[in-house]
Structure 1
Amino acid sequence: MSELFFKHFELTRNNLLKTVAALDESIVDIKPEGFNNTLHWHVGHVLTVAEQFMFGYPKKSAHLPANYLELFGNGTKPAHWQGDVPSVQELSAQLVEQLKRIKEIPAESFSEKLKTPFLGQETFGELANFGIFHETLHLGQILAMKRVVQAAVTK
């Protein structure tokens, strides 16, 4: 199970990184009509939620700054951002580093039962696979939002 997970996670993450690298910096903080957030927020959100799912952030992981939950956690939005906000480039570098750490997770971890099931996921492996779903969902949002923002900017 873990070998397939790592393969799918790496595929998804590399597609996300490729998409993010191709974003024009001038559009990453534009919130298009009909969307709740920006491209910048989505990149930080994917990083933050993956850290939560895979490493128990913020209680069990100190790899991301504590304020990432306030910036990119569920229910947050750029309109409420205060203080230092990492750039998309910084977030991308953290996504690369995080992928390396994910690929080092021991295979036996995937069969461990969660203390509390999360959205029907009962084992760490199920939660990890849900993380791929979550990341792919946001990759789709990023691709759609990029097209909407680019169309609005070129009018």
Structure 2
Amino acid sequence: MESVFRTWKTSRELYLDYFNNYTLEQLNKIPNGFSNNLIWNIGHIIVAQQALIYKDSDLEGYIPNELFELYKPGTKPTGKTSQNEVTELKELLLSLIKKTETDFYDGKFVNYNERMTGTGFYLTSLKDAFEFNNYHEGLHLGFMVNIKKFI
């Protein structure tokens, strides 16, 4: 699991660069031909991780339900994300790694509900979920690389 956590941390550091290098206007811009923006992708990977790891383990996560509803799979941006929400997402981006890692090593995860992801991956264990999460975050990072070309 050490390499899974190391990969996840590296991925999240790459996402952090978007907060540090793009304005609120740029984070919110949906370029022509795209259905979402930079900030939606960041919110989505945060929400997806909480669902994959916590909800599928029958545990409460660390994000408010309102945030989950805005960024869960199948959603799209519904308006401009405020600076307050951007600040909240920025804080969650890295803080959730430490919380999840602590919960993992403290043995908080006991059960995992097997399931098929929307992209056709069958997850049978918590380890599968962590590995899929890293894959999922890589996909969205690729989407963001494309979006930033047009903002």
State the TM bucket, normalised to the shorter chain. Answer: 0.7 to 0.9
- The percentage of counterpart residues that share the same residue type is 23
Residue 147 of structure 1: CA displacement? 1.4
Letter in 1 for 2:140: H
Shift of the 107–64 alpha-carbon distance from structure 1 to 2, 3 Å rule, reads closer
1:131 corresponds to which of 116, 127, 133: 133
Which residue is 2:96 aligned to?
A: 98
Q: Which amino acid aligns with 2:146?
A: A
C-alpha separation in 2, matches of 1:145 and 1:69: 23
Whether the aligned pair in 2 keeps the contact of 1:45 and 1:73 (CA below 8 Å) is yes
Cα-to-partner distance string for 1:41-67 (whole Å, 9 max, x where unaligned): 11111111111112228x622411111
Is this contact kept in 1: 2:29–2:37, CA < 8 A? yes
Q: Does 1:18 align with 2:22?
A: no
Q: How does 1:72-111 map to 2 (within 5 A)?
A: 72-79=71-78, 87-104=85-102, 105-106=104-105
Aligned CA RMSD, in angstroms, stands at 2.7
* Cα displacement (A) at 1:114: 3.3
Cα distance change of structure 1 residues 121 and 86 upon mapping to structure 2, 3 Å threshold: farther
Verify the 8 A CA contact 1:109 1:124 in the aligned structure 2. no
Match of 2:146 in 1: 144
1:100 Cα deviation from its structure 2 partner: 1.0
Deviations 1:2-48 (A, max 9, x none): 11111111111111212332122221111111111111211111111
Normalization by structure 2: what TM-score?
Answer: 0.82
For 2:23, give the aligned amino acid. Answer: D
Q: Which amino acid aligns with 2:36?
A: N
**1 CA distance for matches of 2:18 and 2:2?**
24
Runs of 4+, deviation exceeding 4 Å? 107-110
Q: Supply the distance in 2 between the matched residues of 1:49 and 1:41 (Cα, whole angstroms).
A: 12
Count of residue pairs the alignment pairs up: 145
* Larger Rg, first or second structure (1 or 2): 1
Separation of aligned partners in 1, 2:98 and 2:141: 19
Question: Which residue of 2 is the match for residue 115 of structure 1?
Answer: 113
